[in-house]
Amino acid sequence: MDRVRMGRHIDQLVKRREKIAATLKHIHREQAEAEQETDWLDRAAYESRIALLDRLNAWYTREMAAITDAFGRVEQDTYGSCLACHKPIEAHRLDCFPEAVFCGGCQSVRERLATT
CA angle 7, 12, 18 (to 5 degrees): 125
Measured between alpha carbons, how far is residue 116 from residues 1, 22, 104, 106 in Å?
34, 37, 19, 16
CA 79 – CA 89 distance, rounded (Å): 9
The mean pLDDT of the chain is 93
All structural domains of the chain:
3-115 (1.20.120.910)
Whole-prediction pTM: 0.83
Measured between alpha carbons, how far is residue 31 from residues 8, 41, 44, 46, 60 in Å?
34, 17, 16, 11, 14
Say which amino acid occupies 91: A
Listed in sequence order, the DSSP H helices in the chain are 3-36, 43-75, 91-96, 104-115
| pLDDT tens for each residue of 52-67 | 999 999 999 999 999 9
| pLDDT tens for each residue of 23-76 | 999 999 999 988 887 676 787 888 888 999 999 999 999 999 999 999 999 999
